[in-house]
Protein backbone atom coordinates (compact mmCIF):
# COMPACT_ATOMS: atom_id res chain seq x y z
CA UNK A 1 0.00 0.00 0.00
CA UNK A 2 1.32 3.44 -0.88
CA UNK A 3 1.60 6.44 1.41
CA UNK A 4 -1.77 7.57 0.06
CA UNK A 5 -4.76 7.51 2.34
CA UNK A 6 -6.82 4.37 2.02
CA UNK A 7 -9.92 6.49 2.58
CA UNK A 8 -10.97 9.79 1.07
CA UNK A 9 -10.77 13.03 3.03
CA UNK A 10 -13.62 13.37 5.49
CA UNK A 11 -14.30 9.66 5.24
CA UNK A 12 -15.52 8.48 8.60
CA UNK A 13 -13.14 6.08 10.29
CA UNK A 14 -15.43 5.34 13.21
CA UNK A 15 -18.64 6.65 14.75
CA UNK A 16 -19.63 5.90 18.32
CA UNK A 17 -22.63 6.95 20.31
CA UNK A 18 -21.47 7.95 23.78
CA UNK A 19 -24.60 8.45 25.84
CA UNK A 20 -26.67 10.82 23.71
CA UNK A 21 -23.67 12.28 21.83
CA UNK A 22 -22.30 11.07 18.49
CA UNK A 23 -18.49 11.09 18.24
CA UNK A 24 -16.74 10.58 14.93
CA UNK A 25 -13.10 10.20 13.95
CA UNK A 26 -12.36 11.04 10.35
CA UNK A 27 -9.69 12.35 8.02
CA UNK A 28 -9.47 16.14 7.96
CA UNK A 29 -10.05 18.09 4.76
CA UNK A 30 -9.05 21.50 3.45
CA UNK A 31 -12.33 23.06 4.65
CA UNK A 32 -11.32 22.11 8.22
CA UNK A 33 -8.23 24.36 8.21
CA UNK A 34 -9.80 27.32 10.06
CA UNK A 35 -10.88 25.09 12.96
CA UNK A 36 -7.56 23.21 12.94
CA UNK A 37 -5.80 26.57 13.26
CA UNK A 38 -7.93 27.39 16.31
CA UNK A 39 -6.84 24.08 17.86
CA UNK A 40 -3.19 24.73 17.04
CA UNK A 41 -3.49 28.13 18.74
CA UNK A 42 -4.53 26.29 21.92
CA UNK A 43 -1.70 23.77 21.55
CA UNK A 44 1.01 26.34 20.83
CA UNK A 45 -0.18 28.38 23.79
CA UNK A 46 0.81 25.43 25.99
CA UNK A 47 4.20 24.79 24.40
CA UNK A 48 7.34 26.75 25.12
CA UNK A 49 9.08 26.22 21.78
CA UNK A 50 6.36 27.30 19.34
CA UNK A 51 4.34 30.39 18.64
CA UNK A 52 1.06 30.73 16.82
CA UNK A 53 0.91 32.39 13.41
CA UNK A 54 -2.32 31.62 11.55
CA UNK A 55 -0.76 32.22 8.13
CA UNK A 56 2.12 29.84 8.83
CA UNK A 57 -0.05 27.17 10.43
CA UNK A 58 -2.64 27.38 7.60
CA UNK A 59 0.12 26.92 5.04
CA UNK A 60 1.53 23.89 6.87
CA UNK A 61 -1.89 22.27 7.27
CA UNK A 62 -2.65 22.85 3.57
CA UNK A 63 0.66 21.23 2.60
CA UNK A 64 -0.23 18.09 4.56
CA UNK A 65 -3.84 17.93 3.42
CA UNK A 66 -3.03 18.49 -0.26
CA UNK A 67 -0.41 15.73 -0.46
CA UNK A 68 -1.13 12.35 1.16
CA UNK A 69 2.54 11.40 0.74
CA UNK A 70 3.41 14.02 3.40
CA UNK A 71 1.04 12.85 6.10
CA UNK A 72 -2.48 12.58 7.45
CA UNK A 73 -4.56 14.64 9.83
CA UNK A 74 -7.35 13.05 11.82
CA UNK A 75 -10.10 14.93 13.62
CA UNK A 76 -12.59 13.92 16.27
CA UNK A 77 -16.02 15.47 16.10
CA UNK A 78 -18.89 15.75 18.52
CA UNK A 79 -22.12 16.18 16.59
CA UNK A 80 -20.17 17.41 13.51
CA UNK A 81 -18.06 19.95 15.48
CA UNK A 82 -14.30 19.36 15.50
CA UNK A 83 -13.13 19.09 19.11
CA UNK A 84 -9.65 17.66 18.52
CA UNK A 85 -7.00 16.76 15.99
CA UNK A 86 -3.87 14.68 15.57
CA UNK A 87 -1.42 14.88 12.68
CA UNK A 88 1.12 12.35 11.42
CA UNK A 89 3.98 13.01 9.02
CA UNK A 90 5.52 10.19 6.98
CA UNK A 91 9.14 9.24 6.60
CA UNK A 92 11.13 6.05 6.06
CA UNK A 93 13.32 4.37 8.66
CA UNK A 94 16.46 2.78 7.30
CA UNK A 95 16.79 0.94 10.62
CA UNK A 96 13.40 -0.73 10.07
CA UNK A 97 13.41 -0.65 6.28
CA UNK A 98 9.83 0.56 6.46
CA UNK A 99 7.44 3.49 6.55
CA UNK A 100 7.29 5.28 9.91
CA UNK A 101 5.55 8.41 11.15
CA UNK A 102 6.04 11.39 13.40
CA UNK A 103 3.07 12.34 15.52
CA UNK A 104 3.38 16.08 14.97
CA UNK A 105 0.43 17.73 16.74
CA UNK A 106 -2.27 16.40 19.03
CA UNK A 107 -4.76 18.63 20.80
CA UNK A 108 -8.23 18.35 22.27
CA UNK A 109 -10.14 21.59 22.90
CA UNK A 110 -10.23 22.44 26.62
CA UNK A 111 -13.96 21.84 27.30
CA UNK A 112 -13.62 18.31 25.85
CA UNK A 113 -10.47 17.22 27.70
CA UNK A 114 -10.59 14.35 30.21
CA UNK A 115 -13.76 12.97 28.59
CA UNK A 116 -12.28 10.23 26.41
CA UNK A 117 -11.92 12.22 23.20
CA UNK A 118 -8.12 12.06 23.16
CA UNK A 119 -8.16 8.33 23.85
CA UNK A 120 -10.66 7.68 21.06
CA UNK A 121 -8.86 9.93 18.57
CA UNK A 122 -5.41 8.51 19.23
CA UNK A 123 -6.64 4.93 19.27
CA UNK A 124 -8.43 5.21 15.93
CA UNK A 125 -5.56 7.15 14.35
CA UNK A 126 -3.03 4.51 15.45
CA UNK A 127 -5.30 1.79 14.02
CA UNK A 128 -5.27 3.71 10.73
CA UNK A 129 -1.45 3.87 10.91
CA UNK A 130 -1.36 0.06 11.13
CA UNK A 131 -3.62 -0.24 8.07
CA UNK A 132 -1.26 2.08 6.22
CA UNK A 133 1.62 -0.31 7.12
CA UNK A 134 3.34 2.19 9.39
CA UNK A 135 5.88 0.34 11.56
CA UNK A 136 6.70 2.99 14.18
CA UNK A 137 5.39 6.30 15.46
CA UNK A 138 7.63 8.81 17.23
CA UNK A 139 6.64 11.95 19.02
CA UNK A 140 7.97 14.76 21.15
CA UNK A 141 6.23 16.10 24.24
CA UNK A 142 7.15 18.89 26.58
CA UNK A 143 9.18 17.44 29.43
CA UNK A 144 6.71 18.80 31.99
CA UNK A 145 3.54 17.59 30.21
CA UNK A 146 2.92 14.55 32.40
CA UNK A 147 -0.73 14.28 31.34
CA UNK A 148 0.14 13.86 27.65
CA UNK A 149 2.97 11.46 28.45
CA UNK A 150 0.61 9.32 30.52
CA UNK A 151 -1.89 9.14 27.64
CA UNK A 152 0.82 8.12 25.18
CA UNK A 153 2.21 5.51 27.58
CA UNK A 154 -1.26 3.93 27.84
CA UNK A 155 -0.99 3.28 24.10
CA UNK A 156 2.43 1.66 24.43
CA UNK A 157 4.73 4.61 23.75
CA UNK A 158 7.88 4.53 25.83
CA UNK A 159 10.87 6.78 26.34
CA UNK A 160 13.70 6.56 23.85
CA UNK A 161 17.39 6.80 24.62
CA UNK A 162 17.66 9.16 21.66
CA UNK A 163 18.07 12.87 22.45
CA UNK A 164 16.17 15.46 20.43
CA UNK A 165 18.19 18.17 18.72
CA UNK A 166 17.23 20.73 16.12
CA UNK A 167 18.60 23.33 13.74
CA UNK A 168 16.49 26.09 12.21
CA UNK A 169 17.53 26.81 8.63
CA UNK A 170 16.38 30.21 7.40
pLDDT digits (tens, 9 = 90+) for 82-141: 999 999 999 999 999 999 999 999 999 999 999 999 999 999 999 999 998 999 999 988
Burial of 10 (0-12, 13-18, 19+ CB in 10 A): middle
Cβ(90)–Cβ(63) below 8 Å: no
- Domain locations in the chain? 12-154
Residue-level pLDDT at 11: 65
Cα(138)–Cα(126) distance, rounded to whole angstroms?
12
Nearest to 80 by CA among 40, 23, 147, 146: 23
pLDDT on residue 13: 74
Residue 122, pLDDT score: 96
Task: Write down the number of H helices and E strands in the chain.
Answer: 4, 6
Instruction: Calculate the dihedral angle through the C-alpha atoms of 93, 136, 63, 10, rounding to the nearest 10 degrees.
Output: 150
Nearest to 109 by CA among 63, 73, 75, 61: 75
The whole-number pLDDT of residue 78 equals: 93
Does 6 score more than 90 pLDDT? Answer: no
Does the domain spanning 12-154 belong to CATH 3.40.630.30?
Answer: yes
User: Does pTM top 0.85 for this prediction?
Assistant: yes
Average pLDDT, integer, range 161-170? 87
Q: What is the pLDDT of residues 12-54, one digit of tens each?
A: 677 777 777 889 999 999 999 999 999 999 999 887 778 899 9
Amino acid sequence: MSFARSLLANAIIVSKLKGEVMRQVEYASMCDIPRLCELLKILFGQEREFYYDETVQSRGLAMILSDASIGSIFVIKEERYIVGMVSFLWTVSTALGAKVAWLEDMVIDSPYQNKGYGKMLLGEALDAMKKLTCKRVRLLTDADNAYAQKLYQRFGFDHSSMHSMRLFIS
